[in-house]
Amino acid sequence: MSSATTERSAPGAPVPQYVPTEHRVTFAGLLRSEWIKFWSVRSVVTTMLVSVVAIVGLGALLSWAVASSLADPGAGRTPGPPGIDATGASLQGAQLASLALAAVGVIVIAGEYSTGMVRTSFTTAPGRLGVYAAKALVLAVSVAVVAGLAVFAAFFVGQAVLDTQDAGASIGDDGVLRAVLGHVAMVVGFALAGLGLGALLRNSAGAICTVVAAIFVVPLLLMALPESWGGEEVRAYWFSNTVTNVTTVPQQAEFLGVGAGLAVFAAWVAVLLGLGAAALRSRDV
C-alpha cells in the first residue's frame, strides 16, 4: 500500500506567480515549420521521387531510342545523326514530371484543407500570408534543388548515350545551358502555379485536374482556334506555351522569344499565386 505526500507552502510564504511567456511567430519559424511539414508528407516525398525517376529514366530511355535508330537506320536512310534536338531528347522526362511537380504544389496547401491542419497553421499565424509565403519559398527551393539535379543528370546521361552515335550535345553549345536551366524554371513555375490553384480551389482533385488541363489539354485545343480569332497570339501567350523557346535549343518563330516568354510565364505564375493569396485572406477556413 502506497501513500502520497503533498508539499505545502510554509505559512506566510509568497505564492509563486506564473507569467505567461509571449512567443512571437517569425518568418524563420514559419519556414522551419513548413520545411518539416513538406518533407513529412508521404505523398509529397513519393511524388518528388517519382518525378526524379521520370526525369532521368525517361530521358535516358528516349535518348537510347534515338541512338538505336541512328545505329540501325531504316531503308532509304543513311547512317549518321539527322537534325535532331539532342538536348530535347534527353529532357523529355521533365515535361511529364512537370505534372507531378504541379501536383506537389497543390498538395502542399490543398492537402492541409482536407485534413484540417490549415486551421492550426492559420491560428499560429493569423495573418495567413506569412504561412503562404513560407510554403511558396519551401516549395520553390525544394523543387529547384531536387528537379534541378535530376534535369542535369538526365542531360548528361542522355548525351552520354547519344555520344555513342556521335549525336550528343555539349553543355557549352549554343542554347544548351539555357534550355537545361529553362526546364528547371519551368517545373518550379508549374509547382508554384499548383500552389496558387490549390489555395484558390481548396480541393486537391479539382486543382490537379485544372493544372493538368492548363499544361497539356488547353494547348491542344488552342491549335484548333482560327487565326481570324487571334489563334496565333492566344497560343503564344498561353501559360504553358510561353516557355516553349525557353526550354528548347531550336527556336520556333510562332512562340515568344526567350526573354518575353520568361516574363509572361512569370506573370502567369504571379497572378495565380496572387489569386490564391486573395482567397486565403478573404475566405474563412
In a domain, 258, yes or no: yes
User: What integer is the mean pLDDT of 237-252?
Assistant: 94
Our CA angle for 176, 161, 159, nearest 5°, is: 10
Mean pLDDT over 132-138 rounds to 95
Instruction: Pick the range with the lowest mean pLDDT from 76-85, 87-96, 102-111.
Output: 76-85
- The residue among 101 and 225 whose pLDDT is bigger is 101
Give the residue-averaged pLDDT of 164-188.
93
Determine the average pLDDT of the residues in 43-56: 95
Indicate the pLDDT class of residue 120, thresholds 50, 70 and 90. confident
Judge whether residue 179 has pLDDT over 90: yes
Reported as a single tens digit per residue, the pLDDT across 192-209 is 999 999 999 999 999 999
Q: What pTM was estimated for this model as a whole?
A: 0.86
- Report residue 12's pLDDT band, with 50, 70 and 90 as the boundaries: low
**Residue 89, SS3?**
helix
Q: What is the mean pLDDT of residues 160-167?
A: 90
Which residues, at least 6 apart from 157, have a Cβ–Cβ distance to it below 8 Å? 56, 59, 60, 63, 90
Average pLDDT, the chain: 87
- Within-domain flag for 232: yes
- Decide if pLDDT at 127 tops 80: no
Rounded-to-integer distance, Cα 102 and Cα 215, Å: 10
Which of 34, 53, 85 lies closest to 247, judged by CA? 85
**Rounded mean pLDDT, 10-39:** 73
Residue 23: what pLDDT?
Answer: 60
- Residue 34's pLDDT band (boundaries 50, 70, 90)? very high
What's the total number of domains in the chain? 1
User: pLDDT at position 61, please?
Assistant: 95
In which domain, by residue range, is 268 found? Answer: 27-66+84-282
Specify if 18 maps to a domain.
Answer: no
In the chain, what percentage of residues exceed pLDDT 70?
Answer: 87
What is the rounded distance in angstroms from the CA atom of residue 186 to the CA atom of residue 244?
Answer: 10
Work out the average pLDDT over 19-44: 82
> Does 9 fall in a domain?
no
Question: pLDDT at residue 82 above 60?
Answer: no
What is the reported pLDDT for 124?
A: 76
Judge residue 14's burial from the number of C-beta atoms within 10 Å of its C-beta, 0-12 exposed, 13-18 middle, 19 or more buried. exposed
Is 111 contained in some domain? yes
Evaluate whether residue 195 is within a structural domain: yes
- At 150 the pLDDT is 97
Provide the pLDDT for residue 20. 52
State the pLDDT at residue 187.
97
In a domain, 182, yes or no: yes
What does the alpha-carbon distance between residue 278 and residue 285 come to, in Å, rounded to a whole number? 13
Q: Is residue 78 part of a domain?
A: no
